[in-house]
Amino acid sequence: MTGTAERIKKLTDAIVRINPLQRAFIEESLIDVRDHELRDLDAYIRFAESAGIESDYLAESYDLIVKDTLREQMYFQRHGCYRYSTFDEVAGSVYFNEEYMRKYMHGLAITAYLWPNHRALHRYFIDVIPTDKDGRYLEIGPGHGVFMMCAMRKTAFSRFEGVDISPTSVEMTRSLLGSGLFGDFASWEIIEQDFFASDMEDGGYSAVVMGEVLEHVEDPGQFLRQINTVATDDAFIFITTPINAPAIDHIYLFDSVESIEALVSDAGLTVRDSLLVPYPGLSVEESTAQKLPVNVAMVLGK
């Protein structure tokens, strides 16, 4: 077994030790994984190791997301709404709780490789992001930094900027990009700020990317309007957000694709292309009717 395969097996074994129910899911999921995704997952494990983080901690991080999601799904099924609806209710226990946020972001980064729905979003992002566009790239809520790292590897933007409200996310993204394990990157900066309170330059960005943030804010329409303001007229704008997908810090419930499209349109933006990833085994319509999660990625234009 190569070093890559060994390290990934060590991680998946550690996950299954904590949560045996994950065995079948992970085994089936890995059938479809691509070699470059395994190499990136391995680089992520080595990146964690370089910071003194062992597989057992990464497995606990992954399990935190699995168990939190399960608990919130039960709440959602009983009540028909997410548990919390305001930023203040979740900020202290999530974004500003260093211990929780660190595990949450490591866990989320791993799902980008181990969960078919998150893998689909990442593949789509890599497929649609323009490789020859110039100008400044802005990412809102990079979290663990994996999307931003992929963009920096693949594109020709002259400068890359990230803005995240969580000090832990800022630190994690900085250390991932600066690790050298994913590439040697120049001209980038990550700032700690609420995007909505930030004073990004109007019309300053040729790309604005925001993965899994819209459901974390009280007024996603306002966020989309601000994206419209900071983007150039021909900007590449990319967002992802889930429908009917409870999590401890999801405070805005999108219950259909149309509910996202309506906010996009109200913000003066149009949907140029999209990817919808329904609940396994169901269509988008069936998932929506049964209030089961659908992952959505959209390329927007002005």
Ligand X SMILES: C[S@@+](CC[C@H](N)C(=O)[O-])C[C@H]1O[C@@H](n2cnc3c(N)ncnc32)[C@H](O)[C@@H]1O
Local structure of residue 75 (DSSP, 8 states): H
Q: Compute the distance between CA of residue 39 and CA of residue 62 in angstroms, rounded to an integer.
A: 19
Torsion, Cα 120 121 126 128, to 10 degrees, reads 110
Are the CB atoms for 111 and 146 separated by under 8 Å?
no
Structure tokens at 76: 């959602």
Contact call for residue 196 and ligand X (CB under 6 A): yes
Count of CB atoms situated within 10 Å of the CB of 9:
12
What are φ and ψ of residue 291, in 5° steps?
55, 40
Candidate residues 44, 124, 147, 205; the one interacting with ligand X per rule CB under 6 A: 147
Q: Is 237 left (phi over 0), alpha (psi -120 to 50) or beta?
A: beta
Are the CB atoms for 53 and 99 separated by under 8 Å?
no
Contact call for residue 95 and ligand X (CB under 6 A): yes
Candidate residues 90, 110, 163, 267; the one interacting with ligand X per rule CB under 6 A: 163
- Report in angstroms how near the CB of residue 237 gets to ligand X at its nearest: 14
Q: Considering only the stretches 1-9, 35-43, 162-170, 177-185, report the one whose residues sit in contact with ligand X under the rule CB under 6 A.
A: 162-170
x/- map, 105-144, ligand X, by CB under 6 A: ---x-------------------------------xxxx-
Candidate residues 43, 155, 164, 296; the one interacting with ligand X per rule CB under 6 A: 164
Smallest CA-to-CA distance from 143 within 174, 123, 170, 111 is with 170
Contact call for residue 252 and ligand X (CB under 6 A): no
Q: Considering only the stretches 9-17, 54-62, 211-219, 287-295, report the one whose residues sit in contact with ligand X under the rule CB under 6 A.
A: 211-219
Candidate residues 22, 82, 160, 211; the one interacting with ligand X per rule CB under 6 A: 211
Contact call for residue 242 and ligand X (CB under 6 A): no
Which residues would be at the binding site for ligand X (CB under 6 A)? 95, 108, 140-143, 147, 163-166, 169, 194-196, 211-213, 216-217
